[in-house]
Amino acid sequence: MATPLSLKELSKKETMITGGHRMCSGCGAPIVVKMALLASEYPVVVANATGCLEVSTCISEYTAWNVPWIHNAFENAAATLSGVEAMYRSLKKQGKINSDIKFIAFGGDGGTYDIGLQSLSGAMERGHDMLYICYDNGAYMNTGIQRSSATPLGADTTTCPAGTCVSGKPQPRKDLTRIMAAHGIPYVAQASPSHWSDLMKKVRKALEINGPKFMNVIAPCNRGWRSRTDDAILLSRLAVETCYWPLFEIENGVTRVTVKPKEKKPLSEFMRPQGRFKHIFAPENEALLKQAQHDIDAYWERLLKEEAFTAPPEPGQ
Amino acid sequence: MSASRVVAVTGNESVAEALRQVNPDVSAAYPITPATDIMQRFTHYVSNGKVKTEMILVESEHSAMSACIGASAAGGRVMTATSSQGLALMWEELFIASGYRLPIVMSLVNRALSAPINIHCDHSDGMGARDCGWIQLWSENAQEAYDNTIQAFRIAENMDIRLPAMVCMDGFIISHSIERMEYLDDDAVRNYVGDFKQLYPLLDIAHPVSYGPLILSDYYMEYKRAHAEVMSKVKHVVLDAASEFERISGRKYGLFEDYRLDDAEIGLVVLNSAAGTSKDVVDAFRDRGIKAGLLKPRLFRPFPYEEVGEALKHLKAVCVLDRADASGASYGPLFMEIASSVSPYSPRPVLLNKIYGLGGRDYLPGHAESVLSELAEVAATGKVRTFKEYIGVRE
């Protein structure tokens, strides 16, 4: 069993990703990484897909990583970590390694939802003991804000720019968290850096489970979202409170919504501070805003029903 | 010399046996004809506890090489096998394996590249990967495929170079044909290969390392220059590994095989299985008093230009037979290496290039005969009809 999180304990732990890396000020991704590594009670080896996080944290001769770290290419963090984890099992079986080591992959939404989906699916199906964490900022931010399959409906990106004929991205997001759950792996979760305790508990729980685990974590990007530099936590909180980014986990097929907003805020509160949605508020795009709100509502309702169906209240409650 | 067993096996079977004897820590593989058979046989050893290897049965060749890179960086002995499209899909990863200086060994069972899709032998796959920073050893028959596979581990893992190595053999012609050959005994192979020596392993938690940094214009070129420097040491490592291998096997290997070249006036240069057929025809020409010879490259990457040039410089006419083509956009890839090898010499042999055997088209003694007859005429007259042509093809 994972030990409970306490700020006292966390304050004494060494940060495994150092300051001084070259991520943009206000970026959500390194916050997610810092929390995830802080949550681990084991030594970890990290694999990193090509992307902002990778390109900004290990520029020769410097590295921000206090843990063993490997970057291979864009689409293969999960396959690369499969190899590391298999070598660990081989050497452990041969008595050449005695310590317990955990394996975490980090990839952005481009490297996870899109180009890395096959290698991720393969690694999950093969049952490697690893936790894959997607930091989802909803576009190819590293190459300059191109649309990905994680880009939300209507968002303005450099490859689906809002214009007179096209109002940003015409399609809704791919539901990767559920695709991963459909692999039947023991643990899948969504988290947000605004809810640090929820995020870190999920990481700690995941690392206690043997086998493949997946977490999807929202990670605001002020460059791509065209928001204030210091709004990463505020926006990720609004993503949770509007149910744009529900916090839930699916453990051995049982769904549990881990944070239920007291009052579900309208989606527009999440969208309005972001320049990528500016055009959505024009009168001619009213239908698009309605559609986006409808999609969010439907997803939330379905999630609650799923929770009630898979995890009925304990008898007597 | 150690004890050996005489067996009748296919090329794939011989490579699988070499891999069983080497007993790597991890292997990641994906099925593709004609290499599939190697991994089928090898996983049979895994399922029956004959090896300690952790198998990763991946969902693509891209992931196979990605997992091999992760496993090798983690700190252990790693191998895989593939052919054709599989190697093409790995292409991006081949450069990363060599860029990280990971001693992965790969068996490449040569097969034609699509399109049109074709499962039979040519060398377009291996030639497409010739500049990816790997060592390449090419093998004429099952015995050489077996011997080269064993030597490849010792070469790749040499602490002075630490580079990935691919061992090539002809698809179907060798991979699926039964030949008489000799196996070394298990202990001899294990002693020859030795224990794997870790270098900056990811799994050394106490000493964290970062693999795969960003290096921009300030140092990228120095990094690549350093790789070239390491490559320059490979020849010596290959020759040392060969001389040690000769001690246990009695079989002699070099950078290439020179066959009746010393006093030759005309010669063929050809890779892999076609060299066997060609040597018989060279003998027949010698019987007729024509001074023919043959050179069969073994270490194709890095290419031993000086040694090959020295071996060929005195010939009057040489034909380079390429089992790969650049769709007519240039000479064959082997031809270009031979042309570079003899270019410093004057006089130097007249060079012809014939493209043969694409997509498994048979290479027959008659082809070697007509090429050698043409060379004899070129040597006598100095006149060349055409420098590059396709043989064994409907025009």
Whether residues B60 and B196 fall in one domain:
yes
pLDDT-derived band at A4, boundaries 50, 70, 90:
confident
Q: How many residues does chain B have?
A: 395
| Predicted confidence (pLDDT) per residue in A144-180, tens digit | 999 999 999 999 999 999 999 999 999 999 999 999 9
> Is B2 a residue whose pLDDT tops 90?
no
C-alpha of A184 from chain center: 19
Q: How many residues does chain A have?
A: 317
Whether residues B218 and B275 fall in one domain:
no
Looking at B249, B283, B299, the residue that finishes a domain is B249
Domain assignment of residue B334, given as a range: 256-390
> Is A247 a residue whose pLDDT tops 70?
yes
Whether residues B79 and B218 fall in one domain:
yes
Alpha-carbon span A91 to A305, nearest angstrom: 45
Whether residues B102 and B237 fall in one domain:
yes
pLDDT-derived band at A314, boundaries 50, 70, 90:
low
Whether residues B309 and B189 fall in one domain:
no
Joined together, the tokens standing for residue A49 give 């897909």
Give kind and range of the element (H or E) at residue A46.
strand A44-48
Alpha-carbon span A155 to B332, nearest angstrom: 51
Residue B149 lies in a domain: yes
Whether residues B33 and B78 fall in one domain:
yes
Q: What is the pLDDT of residue A2?
A: 76
Mean pLDDT to the nearest integer, A179-195 = 98
Q: B92 near B128, Cβ under 8 Å? A: no
Residue B375 lies in a domain: yes
Looking at B196, B219, B249, the residue that finishes a domain is B249
| Predicted confidence (pLDDT) per residue in B114-136, tens digit | 999 999 999 999 999 999 999 99
Q: B68 near B45, Cβ under 8 Å? A: no
Got the DSSP string for A166-209? --S--SPPP-HHHHHHTTT-SEEEEE-TTSHHHHHHHHHHHHHS
Looking at CA atoms only, how far is residue B390 from chain A in angstroms? Answer: 39
The CA–CA distances, whole Å, from A207 to A97, A201, B166 equal: 19, 10, 37
Residue B395 lies in a domain: no
For residue A68, which residues of chain B lie inside 8 Å, CB to CB? 202-205, 208-210
| Terminal-to-terminal C-alpha distance of chain A | 25
Best of B60, B66, B216 to mutate (most A CBs within 10 Å, chain A): B66
pLDDT-derived band at B378, boundaries 50, 70, 90:
very high
Number of domains in chain B: 2
Helices (H) and strands (E) in chain A, counts: 12, 8
Q: B320 near B275, Cβ under 8 Å? A: no
> Is B72 a residue whose pLDDT tops 90?
yes
Looking at CA atoms only, how far is residue B53 from chain A in angstroms? Answer: 7
Picking from B29, B71, B84, B23, the residue whose alpha carbon sits closest to that of residue B50 is: B23
Residues 6+ apart with CB under 8 A from A196: A35
> Is A317 a residue whose pLDDT tops 60?
no
| Predicted confidence (pLDDT) per residue in B279-338, tens digit | 999 999 999 999 999 999 999 999 999 999 999 999 999 999 999 998 989 999 999 999
Placement of tokens 């055009």 in the chain: A279
Q: What is the pLDDT of residue A1?
A: 63
Whether residues B151 and B227 fall in one domain:
yes
The CA–CA distances, whole Å, from B62 to A69, A111, B76 equal: 20, 14, 20
For residue A59, which residues of chain B lie inside 8 Å, CB to CB? 213-216
Cβ B209–A43 below 8 Å, yes or no? no
Whether residues B145 and B289 fall in one domain:
no
For residue B60, which residues of chain A lie inside 8 Å, CB to CB? 118-119, 122
Cis preceding-peptide flag for B116 (omega within 30 of 0): yes
Mean pLDDT to the nearest integer, B14-40 = 98
Best of A21, A63, A72, A75 to mutate (most B CBs within 10 Å, chain B): A72
Q: Which CATH superfamily is domain A14-310 in?
A: Thiamin diphosphate (ThDP)-binding fold, Pyr/PP domains (3.40.50.970)
pLDDT-derived band at A306, boundaries 50, 70, 90:
very high
Cis preceding-peptide flag for A47 (omega within 30 of 0): no
For residue B196, which residues of chain A lie inside 8 Å, CB to CB? none
> Is B272 a residue whose pLDDT tops 70?
yes
| CA angle centred on A60, ends A55 and A63, rounded to 5° | 70
Query: Which range is least confidently modeled, A2-11, A233-242, B261-270, B318-327?
Result: A2-11
> Is B65 a residue whose pLDDT tops 90?
yes
Give kind and range of the element (H or E) at residue B338.
helix B333-342
Cβ B59–A97 below 8 Å, yes or no? no
Whether residues B383 and B241 fall in one domain:
no
Alpha-carbon span B116 to B128, nearest angstrom: 17
Residues 6+ apart with CB under 8 A from B24: B51, B53, B76, B77, B78, B79, B105
Cis preceding-peptide flag for A172 (omega within 30 of 0): no
The CA–CA distances, whole Å, from A156 to A139, A150, A218, B57 equal: 10, 13, 18, 40
Q: What is the DSSP letter of A39?
A: H
pLDDT-derived band at A312, boundaries 50, 70, 90:
low
CATH of the domain at B361: 3.40.50.920
Looking at CA atoms only, how far is residue A99 from chain B in angstroms? Answer: 9
Alpha-carbon span A119 to A170, nearest angstrom: 27
Q: Is the whole model's pTM more than 0.95, yes or no?
A: yes
For residue B62, which residues of chain A lie inside 8 Å, CB to CB? 75-76, 79, 119
Picking from B360, B352, B361, the residue whose alpha carbon sits closest to that of residue B321 is: B352
Cβ B63–A94 below 8 Å, yes or no? no
Q: What is the dihedral of CA B39, B44, B48, B50, to 10 degrees?
A: -50
Alpha-carbon span A129 to B52, nearest angstrom: 19
Cis preceding-peptide flag for A220 (omega within 30 of 0): no
Q: Where are the alpha helices (DSSP H) in A71-219?
A: 77-93, 109, 117-126, 176-181, 196-208
Whether residues B195 and B278 fall in one domain:
no
Cβ A87–B70 below 8 Å, yes or no? yes
Cβ B78–A87 below 8 Å, yes or no? yes
| Predicted confidence (pLDDT) per residue in B181-215, tens digit | 999 999 999 999 999 999 999 999 999 999 999 99
| Residue from the list A67, A84, A101 with its beta carbon closest to the beta carbon of B71 | A84
Whether residues B238 and B302 fall in one domain:
no
Mean pLDDT to the nearest integer, A130-149 = 98
Q: What is the pLDDT of residue B1?
A: 74
Best of B63, B79, B197, B204 to mutate (most A CBs within 10 Å, chain A): B63
Domain range summary for chain A, segments of one domain joined by +: 14-310
Joined together, the tokens standing for residue A262 give 């007291």
Q: What percent of chain B has pLDDT over 70?
A: 100
For residue A69, which residues of chain B lie inside 8 Å, CB to CB? 202, 208-212
Residue A28: φ, ψ to 5°:
-80, -25
The CA–CA distances, whole Å, from B311 to B269, B294, B318 equal: 11, 10, 12
Alpha-carbon span A96 to A82, nearest angstrom: 19
Looking at B215, B249, B283, the residue that finishes a domain is B249
| CA angle centred on A111, ends A142 and A135, rounded to 5° | 75
Residue A220: φ, ψ to 5°:
-55, 145
Alpha-carbon span B341 to B362, nearest angstrom: 28
Mean pLDDT to the nearest integer, B271-283 = 98
Whether residues B294 and B241 fall in one domain:
no
CATH of the domain at B76: 3.40.50.970
Alpha-carbon span B242 to B271, nearest angstrom: 19
B297: which strand partners?
Answer: B256
Residue B169: φ, ψ to 5°:
-145, 160
> Is A313 a residue whose pLDDT tops 70?
no
Q: What is the pLDDT of residue B301?
A: 98
